[in-house]
């Protein structure tokens, strides 16, 4: 599938940034569980923190295919960084797509510049795969809403300055989910525990606790009751992003495996000469190619204005499972060395797993795919 000259140029710039600036920080950021803020500033300098924002608010307003390419390349550098960026873009997309002119003007220009960082708060301790079961409440009082509840697994939970929040105006009515934008420094909003995770360790994941947080009614992004459909719409694009990140991570694991197989000798020859290893590489490359095609196909459909629910779920499901498989085989090809932090494949293997879980698990993607096929 051909890319335009502009798409190729952006991809090449981001690939260079990923190799030169992101990758060298990855091992330390992972072991320290600290987000590489200099890298974030670099992404902002490349205007990528505003890539889903209209030009009128200073953004790049790229097409979905370009968004997919950027996600792939940033994840080639490090998944933690790609995740932080894509969640920031979910937040800016919500404000750009559902906000009015005042709301856009108030929040977007600064977020385009990279700070404040955005967060997207949908999941709760008891409501993950089924967000309609959320219990966080937004009670209207005069010109304000009063927020109470707890959000769970919030990427950029510590770093963010702006939270796009989903809450019910009536706790007992699943149709009352509404979307708000909440400044992180609002009184009564506390950042909860930072999760100690298997992978994605440089990306901060926290809970957010809302205890009588008062926000102006003007911070409501959608009409009451329109929040869940807004979230699901935005997540279709998000899933294409996660599919693309999975492709980037898998490409990184494959490149590491190919290099190692060429250098490592056993039985008097590079292991790359052993047919079993060659077949592993062939399988990895084939699945990676198929995942990339699915991700780009979904992105192109989105750019043509077609319904992408099916394509986005197929891409997310296949690409994320591929990332896990390819990273697993990359560790295997490294033998015992791959099991140590001396080699990047160890981190890639740990990081890969989250792609099958967040923004809809593989089981949920299959549910969506089957519903589209079977009705």
Chain contacts with ligand FAD (rule: CB under 6 A): 87, 120-123, 128-129, 153-155, 197, 200, 205, 354, 357-361, 363-364, 367
CB of 31 to ligand FAD, least distance (A): 17
Residue 354: both structure tokens together: 């989250």
Q: Between residues 70 and 354, which has the closer beta carbon with respect to ligand FAD?
A: 354
Nearer to ligand FAD, 310 or 364 (CB): 364
Read off the tokens for 108.
């977007």
- Beta-sheet strands, E only, within the chain: 117-121, 137-141, 144-155, 160-168, 177-183, 189-194, 205-216, 265-266, 269-270
Q: How far is the CB of 154 from ligand FAD (least distance, A)?
A: 5
Tokens at 61, concatenated = 């307003």
Only one residue has tokens 């994941």, namely 205
Instruction: Using the minimum distance from each CB to ligand FAD, give the nearer residue, 228 or 254.
Output: 228
Quote the CA–CA distance of 110 and 101 in Å, as a whole number: 15
Which of 72, 256, 346, 359 is the catalytic position? 359
CB of 205 to ligand FAD, least distance (A): 4
Q: How many CB atoms lie within 10 A of CB 109?
A: 15
28 belongs to the catalytic site: no
DSSP-derived 3-state class of residue 129: coil
Instruction: Give the CB-nearest residue to ligand FAD.
Output: 128
- Name the residue nearer to ligand FAD (CB basis): 73 or 359: 359
List C-alpha distances in Å: 318 to 174, 293, 310.
Answer: 30, 11, 12
Q: What is the per-residue DSSP string for 21-33?
A: IIHHHHHHHHHHT
Compute the least distance from the CB of residue 232 to ligand FAD, in Å.
12
Residue length of the chain: 375
Nearer Cβ to ligand FAD, position 106 or 367? Answer: 367
Nearest distance from C-beta of residue 271 to ligand FAD, angstroms? 34
User: How many Å from the N-terminal Cα to the C-terminal Cα in the chain?
Assistant: 30
Active site residues: 359
């Amino acid at each position: 599938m051909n890319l335009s000259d502009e798409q190729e140029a952006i991809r090449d710039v981001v690939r260079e940034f990923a190799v030169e600036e992101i990758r060298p920080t990855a091992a330390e950021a992972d072991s320290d569980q600290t987000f590489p803020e200099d890298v974030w500033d670099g992404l902002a300098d490349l205007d990528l923190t505003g890539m889903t924002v209209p030009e009128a608010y200073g953004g790049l307003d790229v097409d979905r295919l370009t968004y997919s390419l950027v996600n792939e390349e940033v994840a080639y550098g490090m998944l933690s960084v790609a995740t932080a960026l894509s969640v920031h873009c979910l937040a800016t997309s919500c404000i750009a797509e559902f906000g009015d002119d005042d709301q856009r003007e108030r929040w977007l220009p600064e977020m385009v510049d990279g700070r404040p960082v955005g967060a997207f708060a949908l999941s709760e301790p008891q409501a993950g795969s089924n967000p309609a079961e959320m219990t966080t409440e937004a009670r209207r009082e005069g010109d304000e809403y009063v927020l109470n509840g707890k959000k769970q697994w919030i990427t950029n939970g510590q770093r963010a300055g702006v939270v796009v929040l989903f809450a019910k105006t009536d706790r007992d009515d699943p149709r009352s989910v509404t979307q708000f934008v909440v400044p992180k420094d609002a009184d009564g909003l506390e950042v909860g525990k930072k999760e100690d995770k298997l992978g994605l360790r440089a990306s901060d994941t926290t809970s957010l606790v809302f205890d009588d947080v008062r926000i102006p009614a003007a911070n409501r992004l959608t009409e009451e009751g329109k929040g869940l459909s807004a979230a699901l719409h935005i997540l279709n694009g998000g899933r294409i992003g996660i599919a693309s990140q999975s492709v980037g991570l898998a490409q990184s694991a494959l490149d590491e495996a190919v290099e190692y197989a060429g250098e490592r000798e056993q039985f008097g020859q590079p292991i790359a000469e052993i047919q079993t290893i060659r077949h592993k590489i062939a399988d990895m490359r084939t699945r990676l190619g198929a995942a990339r095609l699915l991700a780009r196909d979904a992105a192109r459909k989105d750019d043509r204005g077609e319904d992408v629910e099916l394509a986005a779920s197929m891409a997310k499901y296949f690409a994320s499972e591929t990332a896990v498989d390819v990273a697993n085989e990359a560790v295997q090809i490294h033998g015992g060395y791959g099991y140590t932090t001396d080699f990047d494949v160890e981190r890639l293997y740990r990081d890969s797993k989250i792609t099958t879980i967040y923004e809809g698990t593989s089981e949920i993607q299959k549910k969506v795919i089957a519903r589209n096929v079977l009705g």
